[in-house]
Chain A
Amino acid sequence: MKISVNLLRELIDFEWSAERLVENLTMSGSEVEAVEQKGNDIQGILAAKVIEVAKIEGSDKLTCCTVFDGREKIDVVCGAPNVAHDQVVLFAPVDSRIPGSTLEKAKIAGKESAGMILSEAELQLSENAGEIAVLPDDIKPGTPLEKIVDYKDTILQLEITPNRPDCLSHIGIAREVQALGGGKLKMPDVKLAESDIPASGAVKIVIDNPRGCPRYTGRVIRNVKIGPSPLWLKMMVYYLDMRPINNVVDITNYVMLELGHPLHAFDFDLFKKPEVVVRNASDGEKFITLDEVERTLNSNHLLITDSVSGVAVAGIMGGELSEVSEKTSNILLESAYFDPVIIRRGSKALGLATESSRRFERGADPEMAPFANNRACKLISEIAGGENLSGVVDAYPAPLVPVEIDFKPENINSLLGTKLSANAMCDILKGLDIDTRNGDSYKAIQPSFRPDLTREVDLSEEIARIHGFENIPPVFRPGGALGAEETKLQRLTRDIESYLTGAGGTEVFSLTLVDSNLTRRLGLLESSVTVMNPLSEELAAVRPSLLLSMLPVLRRNINFKERDLFLYELGDIYLPSDQEELPLQQIRLAIGLSGYEAPVFWGEKQRKIDFFTIKGLVENLADYLKLGTINLRPEPHFAFDKSRSFVVYINDNNIGYLGSLSEECLKIADIKEEVLFAEFDMQKIESLVPDSLAAKEVDRFPSADRDIAIVIDENIGAEEIRSEIINSSVGFADDVRIFDLYHGKNIPESKKSLAFSIKYRLPDRTLTDEEVDDVHGKIADVLKMKFGAELRS
């Protein structure tokens, strides 16, 4: 909503500077988003009379005009088609300023030109650029522009919240200024000259749907002369972002901006009968609106008719066939009150929002209808001439009854944390033109222009904002637990994040909406939750796995030549559910690796990431979280290479999967690097994390360390051998590690060489060499017997 400070000052005489006004409005809820100064770059413009107009040879458009500026005659070249002898025009002499330039002497088409005859657009007073501005004859040449029109203005762009339709007007903002102590609101003058003929004889108003149209007022004006508006009116309408059309339409718009009440002027001669019937449209009824579009209405639309055919879609837009034009002489002026819901639905169904519908759907003021009608008719008869038939024809079958709001000042104080007296509260409400009564209890009477006020809590907001939010003292409460402890999952999440970050992982936080194409090509779309109204295909599926959001992140980084990646994400995934109303939501952990393990340094070799990198990472994580030992079981997975696809178990609990992305998957995701990926179910991990830990003492006796190297069939898993070593060590082996794996020279084909380093140790005493040799020998025997192992020296 745009507010002209000049127009505002006509409604309330306040002494604040523009800055103070901006601050006060913003801090009381009408946020000023922008301030625009009008007319600052205009200087030295005055009225002048055109004395002579002469054609310039060789030009069809240009004329050489002699103007009289009150002191002297000046020759100027003019290009406007409407310039004519005897006109009073706006003239910019040499050295005067108009927006964007300072006037200088010029030579145009060979003629000296010492100034310029101006259009309204050149002064940014209106938008009519093709023609020069022609002033009334009674303006004396030499009159400065500021005496003709008050063009210097400050325009405020306000953000008005949807609960405050009253503030979509200058009167509403003036009332805010009044409440904030700026002065006393003055309602505009509506005393108008009327003829003896009663309007009630000229038009009959029937409301078929009084719920949709509780009030309809009409006035009739005869013999108006339609023409352009005077400069001040055009300028005000233009400053406030509307297009000047003609005097009558501009007046209806002006009054709407002033009072907030939408009006509509009909060419009454185009009515088939001198009647107004407000009825619901029928389904499929066609109607051509002012913008020359044929609209199809339905039975929820409210239609204004002349009892034969439609003349306006109520509260939204008038009809083309009854539009005011240059030929119009008799006018019916509508000022009605329509139900917000019917207008909102109608406007939405038509896809048509207008200044009028915007106000009605938020809630106009039913009591303002006749006042606004009088105000507009007064201006019409003053500006466009014509004769007002006497009286407002007012159909108001069931006057709306104002709500009485009971309130207790102590309730308001205890909600706000204030100590305001009841009187102070009543004074604030009075400033807002809300009457209060104090009998057994306090009552506030809802004003007709405040549909948002129905409850005590609504009054508390009024009191708080006028008192000033800044005047409510902040309270710093002591914390104190209200169940503020962390859950196990929250703690676990922190542990995992700190482990993975410490291990070199970069945390990813990606969108949960993923590409439906990618999801489909990976075969997951059928089992995914999808968005009914997505912005695009790229954001049409809700991820069923963190893989779906990790793949584009990997691709992006690899494409930017960041190939050495260790990424992780902790986040939710969603799966459709047959039983539940809502989809299933699970927290998961994903890890994605590609490229080399660590940055390369001088004198070192870089290690490429492989399957054992991710396995080691997961083993370490399990160790760090005290989950127990990880077991991998080969199992196919849609995204993984067949030979590198595993489900991860802790004992018999499946906690997730890990593997190497298949070529197929990489191709679908357009990734040109090998990628290792793992995904885990956080709830399962959570269930396996022990709630407490009992520390063990450290061993006090030295260990005896021995190595053993064997050659065995390459199909035998290393872990199998390792477990066997532990099992056959009669409890002596404290730690068994594989330190070498070898294929190739000196080793027969289909065999491998494995070397283990074994730490023998007992918690309660030192082992003797003989004992160790004995066990070590026995282990070698077992390996020979069980696996056909051959000892290497």
Chain B
Amino acid sequence: MSEILTFLKTIEEEARSAIEKADDKTALDNVAYSYLGRKGKLAEVSRGFGKLDPGIRPRVGSRLNELKKTLNELITQKAGALTSVLESKDVFDYTLPGKRSPVGRRHPLMQTADRMVQIFRGMGFSVATGPDIDTEFINFDALNTPEDHPARDLSDTFYIKKGILLRPHTSTVQVRTMMAQKPPVRIISPGRCYRSDAPDASHSPVFYQCEGLYVDERVTFGDLKGAIIQFARDMFGPGIKVRFRPHFFPFTEPSAEYDFSCMICGGNGCRVCKNSGWLEISGAGMVDPEVFRAVGYDPGKVTGYAFGMGVDRITMLRYRIGDIRLLYENDVRFLRQF
């Protein structure tokens, strides 16, 4: 037997043992590469083919092909064995994470605003919007705000120029709607508002409100209570209680502040509600006749209620958020929770 055939025999033995020993896919790939690859041992023999004695060439050739075929078969067989081991019950690692496509999140403020809109829409309110930058007339005069009221001060409100300002409430939308449309009117107006408050845990110079207005014949304070109570129950659950306390606003009479029973402690008293069991939500009241006069409605014919509501405030209560700035920083680590 020629030297070359003996060499092929040795290669075969080595290869068989290497295939046998390969205990994972990578090891097997390496074996395949080192024997059958372009720079593998068999390829090396093939490259020296031309230098062989012509008499022996056919035998070496057929032996080479035979060996390639054998090794290929062995490797395929072994690969099959390896795979079946991998997929057998014992080794299949189902704890590897699932391959998830990325999922986005809606901003918690917007989720809350949507929920609020949904609730009020169910009560027959439509959504009205208006400009963030508006006139002093729409912002204050039409809302019966005295000329020297502190809300008009430069220290409280951002002005663009004299008489034009960034609205401190979305009551502007109520005024604009009433000026454009005859009663009945039943709207909510979500939108950004602006006040010259330095940012801290409970203040943001830009914040998000959703005010409501219902004007018709015979709208009563009882209707106002009903709307707010219904909202509270829908938003925070049927167990929530609402109370109305008299207050003062230039644009409503009677005026009220309304509180929800603390949803964190169930009204028993905790840090969030300062042990009172109540959380102050916002202001409300019956639209002042002066406001009706300013927009051209006849206060002798219609009555109406209006209420404020902070979307930020509701969001913070809904998700137990302690600092309003978290809502406006847009840190994705925070936003991913919702």
Contact = CB atoms under 8 A, between A and B. Distances in A.
A458 B253 contact: yes
A415 B75 CA distance: 91
Given A504-B102, A535-B196, A31 B245 contact: yes
A484 B124 contact: yes
B23 interface: no
Interface in A398-418: 414-418
Contact of B244 (A469, A484, A512): A469
B43 interface: no
Label chain B's interface by main secondary structure.
mixed
Nearest to A159: B247
Contact of B101 (A483, A504, A562): A504
A505 B206 contact: no
A482 B186 contact: yes
Contact of A479 (B122, B218, B329): B122
Nearest to A576: B160
A416 B222 contact: yes
A341 B148 CA distance: 9
Nearest to B198: A535
Interface size class of A (residues with CB under 8 A): 35 or more
A510 B204 CA distance: 11
A556 B329 contact: yes
A513 interface: yes
Interface string A466-503: 00011011111111111111110010000001001111
Nearest to B108: A509
A574 B254 contact: no
B211 interface: no
Interface in B206-223: 206, 208, 218, 220-223
Interface string A592-610: 0000011101101000000
B330 interface: yes
Nearest to B102: A504
Interface in A522-557: 529-535, 539, 542, 553, 556-557
A511 B206 contact: yes
B160 A530 contact: yes
Given A556-B329, A601-B97, A414 B303 contact: yes
Contacts of A631: none
A27 B245 contact: yes
Interface stretch (B9-17, B47-55, B224-232): B224-232
B132 A475 contact: no
Interface in B76-109: 96-97, 99-107, 109
B253 A480 contact: no
A417 B221 contact: yes
B320 interface: no
Contact of A582 (B158, B164, B225): B164
A567 B205 CA distance: 23
B45 interface: no
A553 B107 CA distance: 13
Interface size class of B (residues with CB under 8 A): 35 or more
Contacts of B131: 582-583, 585
Contacts of A478: 124
Contacts of A161: 247-248
Interface string A706-750: 000000000000000000000000000000000000000000000
Given A162-B248, A464-B246, A513-B205, A583 B160 contact: yes
Interface string B304-337: 0000000000000000000000011111110110
B106 A501 contact: yes
Nearest to A601: B99
A61 B154 CA distance: 54
Interface string B139-183: 000000000100000100011110010100000000000000000
Interface string A556-581: 11001010011110001010000001
B185 interface: yes
Interface string A441-480: 0000000000000010110110011000110111111111
Given A534-B158, A582-B135, A585-B132, A457 B288 contact: yes
Q: Which 3 A-B pairs have the closest CB atoms?
A: A417-B222, A417-B220, A29-B246
Given A509-B109, A531-B166, 6 more contacts: A28-B246, A163-B248, A341-B148, A415-B286, A472-B221, A511-B205
